[in-house]
């Protein structure tokens, strides 16, 4: 989440007249992430988040907003998109598609303990189960097809060692991507900065704009690679046991998922190494833009390759 398109209080005040949210009190840009323009919006009726979609295809936006609305109705603590007076969840502001969603309580936990990871594992499993009944369909936009396309753009910018690692992992994943895994809508970006905690309970899961339909196990791997690692990328096994155990208590893992677990840990590492390489080497101009260091996920990928035959079990028994 960043600010690429500026919105003034006057512009927003006029736009908000189409919504039953009262009048504008405060507008503040959000300086985190890299994809969309985001603002905190406070009105006389409540607190919201305004998102202007910078790069996402317009045809895909109803999937994201519909998924959030569906999950919120199912009791998942995620933002609920607001409909305007014409009953539309998606509008336009300053030439960009825009949406207004509820702002959830809580704060990011930068240094999670095992108890936090258990909460995240349980909410992720409940999200997967709740998403089964969602009618929308969108292939994971940051899946294997995107990996190949992005790799072709960044590979010429890498040194030989990193280029060889990238090519080798793409070849490995092309041989192992399993379509037989249980699938459904996935968040696909459930990092620490996308979960808000109130004390030791989750107040909100946010930023569904990388969501799509994919293997649920991929979503678990993405989550573990951020929540359950030390600064050097090594897996923290007590935290991994907490996350995986809590997830499995809600939705038990299948035998096929157990076999695919090492591959999914590597796939999740590759996906975020690629996205960070792209944002680092091919940045867009923008105000309050924050790009992440790609080296972090390069190290994580190398560690997952090294530990392929000794990953934490997906049922938490050998973490």
Q: What is the pLDDT of residues 25-48, one digit of tens each?
A: 999 998 765 679 999 999 999 999
Domain at 114-306, CATH class:
alpha beta
Please tell me whether residue 42 adopts helix, strand or coil conformation: strand
pLDDT for residue 226 is more than 60: yes
Q: Centre a 10 Å sphere on the Cβ of residue 55 and count the other Cβ atoms it contains.
A: 10
- Asked if pLDDT for residue 240 goes beyond 90, the answer is yes
Compute the distance between CA of residue 187 and CA of residue 109 in angstroms, rounded to an integer. 18
What pLDDT is recorded for position 1?
44
Q: What is the pLDDT of residues 55-71, one digit of tens each?
A: 899 999 999 999 999 99
Q: Tell me the domain boundaries of the chain.
A: 9-102, 114-306
Query: Would the pLDDT of 286 be above 90?
Result: no
pTM, rounded to two decimals: 0.94
To the nearest whole percent, how much of the chain has pLDDT over 70? 94
* SS3 of residue 38 by DSSP: strand
For 9-102, the fitting CATH number among 3.30.420.10, 3.30.200.20, 3.40.50.720, 3.30.450.20 is 3.30.200.20
Q: Is 135 exposed, middle or buried (0-12, 13-18, 19+ CB in 10 A)?
A: exposed
For residue 33, what pLDDT is reported? Answer: 52
């Amino acid at each position: 989440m960043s600010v690429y398109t500026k919105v003034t209080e006057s512009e927003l005040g006029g736009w908000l007249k189409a919504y039953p949210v009262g009048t504008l009190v405060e507008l503040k840009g959000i300086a985190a992430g890299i994809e969309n323009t985001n603002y905190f919006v406070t009105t006389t009726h409540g607190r919201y988040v305004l998102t202007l979609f910078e790069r996402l295809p317009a045809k895909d936006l109803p999937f994201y907003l519909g998924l959030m609305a569906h999950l919120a109705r199912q009791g998942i603590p995620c933002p609920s998109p607001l409909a305007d007076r014409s009953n539309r969840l998606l509008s336009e502001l300053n030439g960009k598609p825009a949406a207004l969603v509820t702002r959830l309580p809580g704060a990011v936990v930068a240094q999670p303990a095992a108890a936090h990871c258990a909460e995240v594992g349980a909410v992720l499993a409940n999200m997967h189960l709740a998403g089964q009944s969602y009618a929308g369909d969108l292939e994971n936009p940051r899946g294997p097809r995107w990996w190949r396309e992005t790799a072709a753009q960044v590979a010429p910018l890498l040194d030989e060692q990193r280029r060889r690692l990238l090519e080798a992992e793409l070849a490995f994943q092309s041989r192992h991507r399993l379509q037989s895994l249980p699938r459904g809508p996935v968040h696909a970006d459930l990092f620490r900065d996308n979960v808000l905690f109130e004390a030791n309970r989750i107040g909100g899961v946010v930023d569904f704009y990388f969501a799509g339909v994919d293997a649920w196990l991929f979503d678990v791997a993405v989550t573990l690679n951020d929540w359950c690692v030390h600064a050097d990328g090594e897996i923290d096994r007590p935290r991994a046991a907490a996350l995986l155990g809590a997830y499995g208590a809600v939705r038990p893992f299948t035998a096929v998922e157990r076999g695919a677990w090492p591959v999914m840990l590597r796939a999740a590492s590759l996906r975020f190494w690629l996205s960070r390489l792209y944002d680092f080497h091919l940045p867009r101009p923008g105000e309050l833009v924050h790009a992440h260091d790609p080296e972090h996920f390069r190290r994580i990928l190398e560690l997952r390759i090294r530990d392929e035959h000794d990953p934490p079990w997906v049922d938490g028994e050998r973490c």
